Amino acid sequence: MSVAPDASTSASPPANPALLNMPEDDAPRPLRRLAAAMACKRLPAERLDAFLRPGLGLAAALKDWFGSDIDHFTDPQSLIGALERDIALLDDMLSRQLNAILHARRFQKLESGWRGLNHLVHCAAGSEHVIVRALNISWAEIASDFERAPDFDQSHLFAKVYSQEFGMPGGTPYGILLCDYEVRHRPSSDAPVDDVAALSGLASVAAAAFAPAILSASPRLLGLEHFLSLDRLSTLSGLYRNPEYTRFNRLRDLEDSRFLGLVVPRVLMRAPYGQDGVPGLKFRYREDLHGLAHHELCWGSAVYAFGEVVIRAFDLHGWFADICGGRRDVLDHGVVDGLTAPSVETDSPGTVERFASELVIPTQIEQDLWQLGLISLNVCKSTSRLVFYTSSSIQNVPDQRTSSAAANARISAMLRYILCVSRFAHYVKVRVRDRIGSYVTAEACERDLQTWLLGYCLGNDDASMEMKARYPLREASVEVKEVPGRPGNFACVMHLRPHFQLDQIFTTFKLVTDIALQNQRPAI
Read off φ and ψ for residue 300, nearest 5 degrees. Answer: -140, 180
Do 173 and 484 form a contact (C-beta atoms < 8 A)?
no
Q: Between vectors from CA 139 to CA 9 and to CA 106, what angle results, nearest 5°?
A: 25
Q: pLDDT tens digits, residue range 371-400?
A: 999 999 998 877 778 999 999 999 998 765
**What is the rounded CA–CA span in Å between residue 258 and residue 156?**
22
Do 497 and 506 form a contact (C-beta atoms < 8 A)?
yes
Read off φ and ψ for residue 510, nearest 5 degrees. Answer: -100, 115
**Which of 10-19, 322-331, 415-424 tops mean pLDDT?**
415-424
Q: Which of 29-43, 164-178, 304-318, 440-454 has the lowest mean pLDDT?
A: 29-43
Q: Which residue has the higher pLDDT, 106 or 510?
A: 106
The HSE-up count of residue 445 (CA atoms within 13 Å, CB side) is: 28
How much is the pTM? 0.84
Q: Quick one: what percent of the chain has pLDDT higher than 70?
A: 85
Q: Quick one: what percent of the chain has pLDDT higher than 90?
A: 41
For residue 458, the SS3 value is coil
Pairing, β 386-388 against β 375-379: antiparallel
Sign of CA dihedral 279, 285, 291, 297: negative
Burial class (CB in 10 A: 0-12, 13-18, 19+), 60: exposed
Alpha helix stretches (DSSP H) within 103-194 = 105-124, 139-148, 156-158
Mean pLDDT for 30-54 is 82
| Residue 284 confidence class, pLDDT cut points 50, 70, 90 | confident
**Which of 111-120, 288-297, 411-420 tops mean pLDDT?**
111-120
**What is the rounded CA–CA span in Å between residue 244 and residue 24?**
62
**What is the rounded CA–CA span in Å between residue 157 and residue 90?**
49
pLDDT number for residue 498 = 82
Strand partners, 270: 298
| CB atoms near residue 447 (< 10 Å) | 14
First-residue to last-residue Cα distance in the chain = 64
Q: Which residue has the higher pLDDT, 330 or 523?
A: 330
Do 515 and 492 form a contact (C-beta atoms < 8 A)?
yes
pLDDT number for residue 61 = 87
**What is the rounded CA–CA span in Å between residue 22 and residue 424?**
76
| Residue 521 confidence class, pLDDT cut points 50, 70, 90 | very low
